[in-house]
Amino acid sequence: MEKVNLAAMLARFDERWSPRIVGELNGQHVKLAKLEGEFVWHRHPDADELFLVLEGSLLMRLRGGEVRLGPGEMLIVPRGIEHQPVAEGLVQVLLFEPVGTLNTGDAEPEARTVRDPERL
């Protein structure tokens, strides 16, 4: 067992919309990501997805509404729900999702798809 310093892990990369794996448990990846601007509309047909904002302001667009998240706030997007994350400035998030979940979900092929996230 090793502790993980999230701030130190976030300092190791600058790429936006390119999640990094920082842990794994019970078939789930714990990922960190830096976001900026709009992402693609997508869904994960077989996976719930947790977003925990560590820094910044994240707007989650949903068909029929939206949710704004600030530091220390989280949102679970249930499987099959179409969503579009929008980072208002630089946003740092922790993600929790099943191993193998593509960041762009069903929006493939998509230039922002990260098929094999780096493990920090």
pLDDT, tens digit (0-9, with 9 covering 90-100), for 75-120 = 999 999 999 999 989 999 999 999 988 787 788 667 778 877 878 9
Distance CA 115, CA 53 (A): 23
Average of pLDDT values for 61-77?
97
pLDDT band, residue 2 (cuts 50/70/90): confident
Task: Show the domains of the chain with their CATH numbers.
Answer: 6-98 (2.60.120.10)
Locate 99 and state its tokens: 């191993």
Distance CA 102, CA 70 (A): 24
Partner residues linked to 34 by β-bridges: 16, 92
pLDDT, tens digit (0-9, with 9 covering 90-100), for 24-56 = 999 999 999 999 999 999 999 999 999 999 999
Distance CA 83, CA 65 (A): 10
Distance CA 100, CA 114 (A): 10
Distance CA 120, CA 112 (A): 20
Angle at the Cα of 40 from the Cα atoms of 34 and 46, rounded to 5 degrees: 90
